Each structure stands twice: as structure tokens, then as C-alpha cells.
Amino acid sequence: MPAMSRCRVCQHALLEFFDFERQPLSSAFVAPDGTDDEFFFRLAVGMCESCALVQLIESVPPELAHHEGYPYHSAGSSVMTKHFEETARRFIETELTGPDPFVVEIGANDGVLLHTCGEAGIRHLAVEPSGAGTVRVHRAFFDAASAAAILATDGPADVVYSANTICSVPDLRPVFEGLDVLLASDGVFVFEDPYLGEILERTAFDQIYDEHVFFFTVRAVQALAERFGFVLADVERLPVHGGQIRYTVARAGRRTPTPAVAELLAEERELGLTDMATLEAFGRKIQGIRTELVALLHRLRAEGHTIAAYGATAKSSTIANYCGIGPDLVPYVCDTTPAKHGRLTPGSHIPVRPAAVFADPYPDYALLFAWNHAEEIMAKERAFREAGGRWILYVPHVHVV
């Protein structure tokens, strides 16, 4: 470990503002007999003193971090499917209007976006080391070499898109080098990831885990784009995954930034989003939520209530481990993902059971780990509340509904 942690982009010092201490890999669901050799690392966050990019202090060794390539997102959410279909339609109307447009997605995200583009007759390609999904895939990480290979076979890309992936790529230089190779002169790089502003506003500290290396702001993304010869041309707030921003990046001089960029920059300044005092206050709120949530769970258990969790999300790894929530407090978590069934949540060792177990019988209280899908899940599980069940939420504060 270096004596001082440095910004992954500009190499200036990182100013640490919160330490979650020892945490496991958020996607490393363990077999019941495999808990002896779990990997733990120090999960802590800091801000670059120069470019203000908020990021993890420590990196997970690459062979452990991306053993299956880009984190493969299958949120099991109809809202997300609709989101990607709508994004595809928007690209088709705005960016993919030339005679023979070409769209590339970094990380496959179930292939919904590319599939929708394909149905409209648009050439498309996923760049994804694991090759998962149903669409055409170039099996590689996105960098200058893979971009050159794609350019040779398919020509320049009008849109390079990426959702929930760029924030998890520790070294962004190769990504921008690849964009420089592959993007058409008027092409755009569009990516969307959790927004630091939203995380702070909601105290959604569970967005901080091993796979989320960067917590972007408009200020930091603008600096990042300019550093690599690009311009931040547009920003748009998105409601998905608890609040994200979609950034549109173009080659320098090719697009005039929309007023939305200056507006959000001004809002960030006003909120003091990248002031250490704001980030330290966020840290104190995190501690407050832990105290309240743990007290509530202990009280409910002491009163004889049954509690289950809902959604074995990656982000719940931080909540469970930081708050010390294990099977003694929450005996199981229900989830729709077959690969997680029969396994234990990383570090906290809560058994994962199929979604059907939830109603058989309903617990008295359900701790909603998948709070980013709250609306969809509460609608689907209406019968739970009708039967007298109550949801426990901890975003933006601990409450029972």
C-alpha cells in the first residue's frame, strides 16, 4: 500500500472522509461451507484534492475485482428494462440518424438497449469481457486495442453507451483512449452512474462498495473529459437506481455544452457538494443511520417479531456488514436471482432464499435491501402489507411503512 492514496485519474492526494473498515466483495456470495477464506478489504472513500473526484481509497486486487469482466447487471427489474428500451429509442431519434449508424455498449446490461436498436435495424455491438447476453459481443475490455479492432471491422461509432459500468473501471485512461480511436468525429460517449449529489441527499451510503470505485459529480466528469481531450456536452438526471446522472461526452470543439451542464455545476457549488465539510457531515449521518437501524432491528426482535430482508443486492453488503446485521437479526433474504439461492450474503452470512419464500409465510417486517426498486417491489408485493406486513427502509432515513 502506498503511504498516501492518490487520485486514479490525476494522481493528486486523496482526502479521506469516511471509513467503513473491513468489508467483503459485494458480489462474493458464499457457499454455506465456504466462509473460511472470504476476502476482505478496507472500504473507505475520499476526494481528490485537485480534480474533486470522489473515489474509493483502496482498490481490490484486479484478479478479484473483475473476475467475470464488467459487473454483469441483471437487476431483474421491469423498470430497468423499460429504461433501456426508452434510452435506445431516444438514441434512434437523436444520435443514430445517419445513413448507417453504429452503436456500441460497454458492459452488456442484459442487452436490452442493443436488442432494441437491432430491432430498428441499427448496427450494434457489446464490448464485454465475459460475453454474457444475447446480442453480438466483442469479448474484451474497452481500450485502444479493442476499439481499433472494432473500427477495422465496423467503422466508427456514433454512440458509445455504458450504464453502471464506468464508475467501476478503476483505470479510465484506456477507456478514453478507446473512445478517441472509435468515436466518429461527431459521435458521443454517453454513460450513466450513481450521482454523488443524490447519494448525499439521501444518505444512500450503501452505494459505496467495492465495485463502485468512482462517485461522479458534474464538476469531476467535466474535468475528466477535458483531461482526455473531450468535452462534457450534456447532463441529465435519471430516477433509476436511486438517482443517477447521464453524461454525454463529445470530442473537444464538436458540441457546445447545453445549459444543463452550467446549471448543475452551479447547483453543486451551491450545495458545497465537493467541500470536505459536506462530505464529513455525510459521514456523521451514516453513523446516525447505523445506530437507528440496529436499534430498530434489535427492538423488533426483542418484541418477538419476525424479520426477513428483500433483495440480496450488492449495495446491501455495505449495510449488512457496516451495521453488523447477520442471520441472528435477519434470518434470510429473498431474491429472484437463482445463482444467489442457497448461498450466504458476503461477510454477513444471511442465507439467500428464492422470492417465493417471502410469502410462505410472510415475515412481520421486511428490510428492503433493494430499495432502489422500492416502487416496483411494493406494488408487486402489495399482499404483504395487506396481510399486516411492514417494510423497513433506511434511505433517506430509517423508517417503517
Write out the residues near ligand TYD by the rule CB under 6 A.
Answer: 73, 75-77, 311-315, 335-337, 355, 370, 372-373, 376-377, 380
CA-CA-CA-CA dihedral for 140, 176, 207, 309, to nearest 10: -20
Least distance to ligand TYD from the beta carbon of 151, Å? 32
Compare residues 146 and 316 and give the one whose CB is closer to ligand TYD.
Answer: 316
Compare residues 95 and 192 and give the one whose CB is closer to ligand TYD.
Answer: 192
Least distance to ligand TYD from the beta carbon of 80, Å? 7
Compare residues 12 and 385 and give the one whose CB is closer to ligand TYD.
Answer: 385
Quick one: cell of 290?
447505523
Least distance to ligand TYD from the beta carbon of 334, Å? 6
Compare residues 298 and 380 and give the one whose CB is closer to ligand TYD.
Answer: 380
Other C-beta atoms closer than 10 Å to the C-beta of 124 total 25
Q: Name every residue whose Cβ is closer than 8 Å to that of residue 99 and which is 6 or more positions away in sequence.
A: none
- Nearest residue to 58 via CA among 1, 110, 133: 1
CA-CA-CA-CA dihedral for 56, 142, 239, 220, to nearest 10: 50
Interhelix angle 259-271/218-227, nearest 10 degrees = 120
Question: What order of strands is seen across the sheet that includes strand 157-163?
Answer: 137-138, 123-127, 102-106, 157-163, 183-194, 244-251, 230-238
Compare residues 5 and 244 and give the one whose CB is closer to ligand TYD.
Answer: 244
Least distance to ligand TYD from the beta carbon of 259, Å? 32
Least distance to ligand TYD from the beta carbon of 46, Å? 22
List beta partners, residue 124. Answer: 103
Quick one: cell of 137?
459481443
| Cα distance between residue 312 and residue 310, in whole Å | 7
Least distance to ligand TYD from the beta carbon of 67, Å? 16
Compare residues 73 and 219 and give the one whose CB is closer to ligand TYD.
Answer: 73
